[in-house]
């Protein structure tokens, strides 16, 4: 190529070696970068408007525009604005859980407490009618939150937008809301915004949804693994119904696995007709329905295409998945990718090695297990207490965290019944801080077992609670003069300390009134054995006598 100097009249062309002119623009129009980014952020896979399709792809100067329409069209999972837009993966390369994601309620497995057997509950009917409203899907990983959100959008014939709170912010939400407003005013079509990991938005970020949900400009579906009552604003919760998703049973996991194998064994032409889940960015667009995957018969022998996937392997995967369908399908992929002559025992061992305990130090399991340990100690069940201790430690819990709770148990539950308990708890805490794992597990086990077998007393704990209640009722009651400190002559002249009997000076007991006159005769610390305010439940007592006392009557029963 030979470039003509810019000063010549021919500066607008470039002469090739074959002398064929190739016009290029001399002075291209300025490009507004902000507009380009804005178009990229709001692009959707829904059909473009007529104004977009009728637009001439050339500029006024006759120069071809470098638009996306000129490039080969690529299917994209543009279900979000900006940050979460990604190119769809090839169907064979996508994770198995993604490839076989259910598209209809009839394909959805589990959550019968919500959808009812056969998807005939009130909620299922509302879902099919598109009247589900804004909601929060709360449940452990792999229980179908994202899948259910997409099914809701399909039945509602709504535009479906998907964001992840881990990679998005309020600016992305506003872009989607602005587009939703336009669609609602122009076409009357609603927009469903699915926000995964909604608990990752802080409370001020969550407030951005309030006016839009209140006015019905968007339908919000949030997914979270955390307790919404702790992580979400009460104002947002009042505008959304909370749907609790539960872990799948082993039988339901096996159903998911069998359906996955049926899908993988389908003929190639049938597989080609299966739409990719990543292509479903707008459920209102008519799609070719997936072939039915409702085969329920158990595998009587090895799979025809995967001879090494035996019923034993299916059952083992379901057990190890612990209610997580995504984890189960990951295990199945691991098994499928193994050589066909791999022994079942070798596959099972590989599952064990890749199994990661589902435990989050900041999530609900963290608090649920420490609560189970505390209640087991309180109930004097040493075996249960040691089990929950082992569950936490093997899952990677900080031993210092457990030791701190034991210090609390020493005074709250053991209390005056065993005054050495607090010293043992503090010694255990020191051991955990100075020694660490794995040796400090022995110290923790010692302390937990001792506490479980110790007599229990909550007298001091309950006494303080009653005293605190009285203190809050009136914080203006003055200290009686006779028990005030009197270090100076002036204070003594004001009668501070006057009338106080110093107990060690007397050879006999003396009485001083230490409570203010307003609280005279109030008792906070009850005497040992005083059961004032305690309930009597004969049924609970009989159950304890049969289960833990060998069927013998409790010695504390009142004599008849």
Q: 220, 244, 268: which is the final residue of a domain? A: 244
Note the pLDDT of residue 559.
67
**What's the pLDDT score for residue 371?**
94
Same domain membership, residue 503 and residue 394: no
Residue 270 main-chain phi, psi, to 5 deg: -70, -35
In terms of Cβ atoms closer than 10 Å to its own Cβ (0-12, 13-18, 19+), residue 432 is buried
The domain of 285 spans 250-354
**200 and 125, same domain (yes or no):** yes
Q: Are residues 195 and 161 in the same domain?
A: yes
Assess whether 150 and 190 both reside in one domain: yes
Residue 7 falls inside a structural domain? no
For residue 407, the model assigns a pLDDT of 97
Can you give the CATH number for the domain in which 399 is found? Answer: 1.20.272.10
Q: What is the pLDDT of residue 276?
A: 40
Paired sense of beta strands 13-15 and 21-23, if any: antiparallel
Crossing angle for the helix pair 325-336 and 344-354, to the nearest 10 degrees: 130
d(CA 9, CA 15): 13
234 and 118 assigned to the same domain: yes
Helix axes 399-409, 364-378, angle to 10 degrees: 40
**Is the same domain home to 115 and 232?**
yes
Q: What are phi and psi of 176, to 5 degrees?
A: -65, -40
- Please name the residues in contact with 155: beta carbons below 8 A apart, sequence gap of 6 or more: 105, 127, 128, 129, 130
Distance (Å, whole) CA 21 – CA 534: 101
Last residue of one domain, picked from the residues 223, 244, 265: 244
| Alpha helices, DSSP H, located in 324-435 | 325-336, 344-354, 364-378, 382-394, 399-409, 421-434
Contact 102, 151 (CB under 8 A): yes
Tokens 């013998």, located at residue: 552
Q: Which of 66, 79, 61, 54 is nearest to 23 (CA)?
A: 61
Assess whether 161 and 180 both reside in one domain.
yes
Q: Are residues 136 and 261 in the same domain?
A: no
Is 89 inside any structural domain? Answer: no
Has residue 66 been placed in a domain? no
The DSSP 8-state label assigned to residue 195 in this structure reads: E
Residue at 387 is within a domain: yes
Q: How far is CA 410 from CA 76, 387, 422, 460, in A?
A: 59, 19, 5, 11
Domain identity same for 219 and 255: no
513 domain residue, yes or no: yes
> How much is the pLDDT for 304?
52
CATH number of the domain residue 221 falls in: 3.40.50.300
Residue 535 forms part of a structural domain: no
Tokens of 110: 């589990």
Buried b (16+ CB within 10 A) or exposed e, 320-341: bbbbbbbbbbbbbeebbebeee
- Same domain as 221, residue 255: no
Helices within 62-199 (DSSP H only) = 96-99, 112-115, 122-128, 145-156, 170-186
Query: Which residue is it, tokens 């407490």?
Result: 113
Nearest in space to 405 (alpha carbons), one of 396, 395, 397, 416: 397
pLDDT value at position 172? Answer: 93
Question: Residue 266 has what pLDDT?
Answer: 64
- Domain end residue (candidates: 354, 381, 400): 354
Tell me how many domains the chain contains. 4
The count of residues in the chain is 560
| Cα dihedral: 451, 455, 458, 459 (round 10) | -140
Spans of the chain, pLDDT less than 50: 1-90, 269-303
Angle, helices 250-265 vs 311-321, to 10°: value is: 130
The answer to whether residue 52 is domain-embedded is no
pLDDT in the model for residue 357: 54
Q: Report angle CA 214, 215, 221 to the nearest 5 degrees.
A: 60
Let me know whether 342 and 289 are in one domain: yes
Instruction: List, for residues 211-223, the tens digit of each pLDDT value.
Output: 999 998 999 999 9
Do 117 and 170 belong to one domain? Answer: yes
| Helix or strand holding residue 230 (H, E) | helix 228-231
Q: Is the pTM of this model over 0.85?
A: no
What pLDDT does 175 receive? 93
In a domain, 468, yes or no: no
């Amino acid at each position: 190529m030979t470039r003509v100097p810019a000063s010549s009249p021919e500066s607008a062309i470039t002469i090739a070696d074959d002398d064929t002119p190739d016009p290029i623009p001399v002075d291209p129009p300025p490009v507004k970068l902000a507009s380009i980014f804005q178009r990229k952020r709001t692009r959707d896979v829904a059909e473009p408007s007529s104004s977009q399709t009728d637009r001439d792809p050339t500029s006024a100067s006759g120069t071809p525009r470098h638009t996306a329409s000129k490039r080969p069209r690529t299917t994209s999972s543009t279900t979000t604005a900006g940050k979460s837009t990604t190119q769809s993966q090839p169907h064979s390369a996508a994770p198995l859980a993604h490839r076989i994601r259910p598209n209809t309620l009839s394909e959805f497995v589990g959550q019968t407490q919500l959808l009812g057997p056969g998807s005939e509950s009130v909620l299922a009917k509302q879902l099919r009618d598109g009247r589900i409203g804004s909601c929060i899907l709360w449940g452990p990983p792999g229980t179908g939150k994202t899948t259910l959100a997409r099914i809701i959008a399909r039945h509602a014939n709504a535009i479906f937008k998907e964001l992840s709170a881990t990679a998005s912010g309020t600016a992305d939400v506003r872009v989607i809301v602005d587009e939703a407003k336009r669609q609602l005013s122009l076409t009357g079509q609603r927009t469903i915004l699915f926000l995964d990991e909604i608990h990752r938005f802080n409370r001020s970020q969550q407030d951005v949804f309030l006016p839009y949900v209140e006015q019905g400009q968007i339908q919000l579906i949030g997914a979270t693994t955390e307790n919404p009552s702790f992580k979400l604003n009460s104002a947002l919760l009042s505008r959304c119904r909370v749907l609790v998703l539960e872990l799948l049973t082993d039988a339901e996991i096996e159903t998911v696995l069998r359906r996955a194998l049926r899908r993988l064994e389908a003929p190639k032409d049938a597989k080609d007709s299966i739409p990719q889940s990543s292509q479903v960015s707008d459920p209102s667009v008519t799609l070719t329905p997936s072939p039915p995957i409702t085969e329920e018969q158990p595998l009587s022998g090895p799979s025809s295409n995967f001879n090494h996937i035996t019923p034993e392997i299916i059952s083992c995967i379901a057990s190890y998945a612990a209610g997580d369908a995504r984890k189960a399908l990951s295990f199945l992929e691991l098994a499928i990718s193994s050589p066909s002559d791999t022994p079942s025992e070798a596959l099972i061992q590989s599952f064990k090695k890749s199994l990661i305990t589902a435990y989050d130090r900041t999530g609900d399991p963290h608090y649920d297990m420490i609560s189970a340990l505390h209640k087991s100690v309180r109930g004097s069940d040493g075996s249960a207490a040691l089990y929950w201790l082992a569950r936490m430690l093997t899952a990677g819990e900080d031993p210092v965290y457990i030791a701190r709770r034991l210090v609390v148990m020493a005074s709250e539950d053991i209390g005056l019944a065993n005054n050495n308990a607090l010293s043992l708890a503090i010694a255990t805490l020191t051991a955990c801080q100075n020694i660490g794992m794995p040796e400090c597990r022995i110290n923790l086990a010692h302390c937990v077992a001792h506490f479980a077998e110790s007599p229990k007393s909550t007298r001091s704990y309950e006494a303080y609670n009653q005293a605190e209640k009285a203190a809050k009722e009136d914080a203006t009651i003055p200290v009686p003069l006779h028990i005030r400190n009197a270090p100076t002559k002036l204070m003594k002249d004001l009668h501070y300390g006057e009338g106080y009997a110093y107990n060690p000076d007397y050879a006999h007991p003396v009485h001083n009134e230490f409570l203010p006159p307003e609280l005279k005769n109030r008792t906070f610390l009850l005497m040992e054995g005083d059961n004032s305010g305690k309930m009597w439940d004969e049924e609970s007592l009989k159950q304890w006598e049969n289960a833990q006392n060998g069927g013998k009557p409790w010695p504390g029963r009142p004599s008849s």
